[in-house]
Amino acid sequence: MPDIVSPIDGKCAFEYEHLSLENARARIDAAADAQRSWCATPIAERIALCQAMLAAYAKREADNAEQITRMMGKPLAHALGEFRGPMRERTEHLCALAVEALADEVPAAQEGLTRFIRREPVGVVFDIAAWNYPLIIAINVIVPAVLAGNAVVIKHSHQTSLVADQLAAAFADAGAPAGLVAPLPVDHEVAATLMRERRFGYVSFTGSVRGGHEVYRAVAAESFVGCGLELGGKDGALVLPDCALESTVDNLVDAAFFNAGQSCCGIERIYVHADIHAEFVEAYTALARKYVLGNPLEAATNLGPMVRADAVQHVRAQVQEATSKGAALLVGDADFAVPDLSDCYLAPQVLTGVDHTMALMTEETFGPAIGIMKVASVDEGVALMNDSHYGLTGSVWTTDDARARALLPRIEAGTVFQNRCDYLDPGLAWTGIKDSGHGASLSRLGFLSVTRPKSFHLRTAT
């Protein structure tokens, strides 16, 4: 049985069992059986199930949150907040959108003909979910899929494998048909085999670029079904002289270090106009030093460990390379009492004097480290923002609305912000370009990937 080693103390927190290929096939067959009747269920009942799922999850939220914290190190308050905030918000918003998003599209009338396009479910959806936001990454796929009439099987990341059981239990408690939403704990080899066997109508993957290529190849080997890929980012922020400095600093510190920097849309590089660079850096470093790094089960902690020791080493390697090339480390381990409970604890790292010869500014960090680079002009800042093979989000910080509206179309990213960052609005499509992935979730567009269009062309009998 695979062990889930907790980053809190380096000890085994939980165990779970991988399904054999035979048992995995049986679970997918059960999901397909459930889907055949579920797709005929009225939309009002599908909405009611997803709403009841929230109530069912809430009954176990304390135990579930502690389990998440022990599995991946998120502070307990943040684990609770993931359900109470974005998971609930996104589920409710998608439920409110479902009737309109799934309604028939009727073209202009033609005499003697009835014509419409219907969005039909794809069948069984395979959701391969990441560990860093284990509830909301999964729910972005599960809820629209169920609302559209699909079944879902969930392969959660090894580190948070038990979250798939949490979500399946909540749907079961809410009255879902047996097998409609089910965990599928399989290893990579079995998952690849299942994707090649054409058992799914849609595959969603959240993870690394390398993993995305592997999933895309496995799906394409024998199938032409849709494949959604959310593959991370190197999200930048451009800070202009007329920004609201205090709120800008507050937001950009939080966006760099929340969840120990382990967020695909967290801020990983900041470009500050020379006119306010010194003032910005002073305020930023002062606020970064206020974090409480410690055991995430303790109430005072707002910065827990990273997920694994090798993730810490990856961040340290980027920081060390940057300082070897002349960057200055202004905030680091010396500013904190770093716990020795495990090798997964890393203090916030803030560096200046950085440039694009350094991996810290060009390659995904996915940890609590940030580079702040001085720029001489807006055009230089935009060019540096776009100098990346990622394109998930980008933000501009200015009180000049007209300037922001002129700048944001120039930023190469799936989502662009003014005076905001590190946020998914369920009313807007979540999508990326370049190596940040392919496809879209959330919003009305999120229903497109878990449905397929079917045209009805009926000649009226005469």
**Quick one: pLDDT at residue 460?**
83
Grouping H, G, I as helix, E, B as strand and the rest as coil, residue 398 is coil
Cβ neighbours around 282 below 10 Å, total? 12
Nearest to 255 by CA among 74, 388, 423: 423
Whether 230 is a known active-site residue: answer: yes
Whether 264 is a known active-site residue: answer: yes
* pLDDT per residue as tens digits for the range 379-434: 999 999 999 999 999 999 999 999 999 999 999 999 999 999 999 999 999 999 99
> What CA–CA distance (Å, rounded) separates 73 from 307?
6
Grouping H, G, I as helix, E, B as strand and the rest as coil, residue 414 is coil
Catalytic choice (50, 82, 227, 230): 230
Q: Please report the beta strands in 57-129, taking only residues with DSSP state E, as ranges in sequence order.
A: 113-121, 124-129
> What CA–CA distance (Å, rounded) separates 25 from 263?
33
DSSP codes of every residue in 364-377: ---SSEEEEEEESS
List the chain pLDDT tens, one digit each, 462 residues: 799 999 999 999 999 999 999 999 999 999 999 999 999 999 999 999 999 999 999 999 999 999 999 999 999 999 999 999 999 999 999 999 999 999 999 999 999 999 999 999 999 999 999 999 999 999 999 999 999 999 999 999 999 999 999 999 999 999 999 999 999 999 999 999 999 999 999 999 999 999 999 999 999 999 999 999 999 899 999 999 999 999 999 999 999 999 999 999 999 999 999 999 999 999 999 999 999 999 999 999 999 999 999 999 999 999 999 999 999 999 999 999 999 999 999 999 999 999 999 999 999 999 999 999 999 999 999 999 999 999 999 999 999 999 999 999 999 999 999 999 999 999 999 999 999 999 999 999 999 999 999 999 999 876
Helix (H) or strand (E) holding 401: helix 401-407
Phi, psi of 136, rounded to the nearest 5 degrees: -75, -30
User: Cβ distance 269 to 421 under 8 Å?
Assistant: no
User: Cβ distance 384 to 354 under 8 Å?
Assistant: no
> What CA–CA distance (Å, rounded) separates 226 from 220?
9
pTM for the whole structure: 0.96
Catalytic choice (50, 227, 264, 421): 264
> What CA–CA distance (Å, rounded) separates 115 from 347?
61
Helix (H) or strand (E) holding 434: strand 433-434
DSSP codes of every residue in 323-341: HHTT-EEEESGGGS----S
